[in-house]
Amino acid sequence: MATKLEDVGVLMTSPMSSYLEQELNNRFKLFKLWESPSKTQFLDCYADSILAVVGDTKIGADAELIESLPHLRIVATYSVGLDKIDLDKCREKGIRVANTPDVLTDDVSDTAIGLALATLRKICACDGFVRSGLWKYGDFQLCSKFSGKSVGIIGLGRIGSAIAKRAEAFGCTIGYNSRSKKHNINYTYYSNVVDLAANCQILIVSCALTEETRHIVNRDVIGALGPKGILINIGRGALVDEPELISALLEDRLAGAGLDVFENEPVVPEALLGLDNVVLLSHVGSDTVETTKGMADLVVANLEACFLNKPLLTPVV
């Protein structure tokens, strides 16, 4: 039976977008977890009213939260990534899960290319050089070209494929690693990441974070990429062994890195802050006005579909 939407309690786990908050508030009974002084106190009072959780890349729905909500029917995440949701627990309890694929593919892949360009062409450092007035004392250092380089992509899903398409337009050759070889694709497939790294100049991490892919970029992969190699990560911080990355950068065993994501966000290792061969972003891959609206609309549409007994638009579970 369909449920009256205004009776559906929706729990947002952290502040995401004010537009999303408004849209949820207009349709459902919205609860904001972060406004409560204590999670335990909140759950004691309202757990019975919550039928839906809206999480994001910071706080999703772990086993503890899922277990504490006896009437939970759906987790709709304001992200494409699912690593903050206990999917097994959702499956076990028959709880639906939806995410926000496709609408953010352009922005996240644009960010990957932007990071590659910024890292190789030292765009941020050169901006600092001009602002600090140093230009009048001499020219900025030479940097390295992006066009025509070999690009290796870990994870050739929607975002990885969009990155490949963009890199091709820069005349780059493309290699990739994924769980299996893709059919009807001319890029070179490497069944292991070390071989991919050994055969590219720029390694772009674009796969989902799971127990299998955690630290998929480790010391061996960084070693194979080598002292002229560049690492770009727009996936999740934990896909890269961060201490290994930092020592490689400090010891000139890697030329540079462009990172949108970190293992312990929003904390970024102090050592990275002092390096001029890295470009650091604050997990903003999909953060444009246009895309965040598209993501918010998709979250709302999935929730409406769930409680009106219609098929979810972007189901995961």
- Which positions lie near ligand DGY, rule CB under 6 A? 57, 79-81, 104, 108, 285-286
Distance CA 130, CA 20 (A): 39
Distance CA 284, CA 100 (A): 15
Tokens of 309: 């007994």
Distance CA 55, CA 65 (A): 11
Could you tell me the smallest distance in angstroms from the CB atom of residue 154 to ligand DGY? Answer: 15
* Contact residues for 128 (Cβ-Cβ < 8 A; gap 6+): none
Could you tell me the smallest distance in angstroms from the CB atom of residue 132 to ligand DGY? Answer: 31
* Contact residues for 29 (Cβ-Cβ < 8 A; gap 6+): 6, 7, 8, 9, 10, 49
Q: Between residues 9 and 160, which has the closer beta carbon with respect to ligand DGY?
A: 160
Q: Between residues 8 and 164, which has the closer beta carbon with respect to ligand DGY?
A: 164
Q: Between residues 74 and 108, which has the closer beta carbon with respect to ligand DGY?
A: 108
Give me the residue label for tokens 């065993």.
253
Could you tell me the smallest distance in angstroms from the CB atom of residue 286 to ligand DGY? Answer: 4
User: Among all residues, which ones are annotated catalytic?
Assistant: 236, 265, 283
For residue 266, cis peptide bond before it (omega within 30 degrees of 0): yes
Distance CA 226, CA 219 (A): 11
Q: Between residues 104 and 205, which has the closer beta carbon with respect to ligand DGY?
A: 104
Could you tell me the smallest distance in angstroms from the CB atom of residue 126 to ligand DGY? Answer: 26
Nearest to 202 by CA among 102, 114, 107, 81: 114
Helix (H) or strand (E) holding 75: strand 74-76
Q: Between residues 80 and 230, which has the closer beta carbon with respect to ligand DGY?
A: 80
Could you tell me the smallest distance in angstroms from the CB atom of residue 316 to ligand DGY? Answer: 12
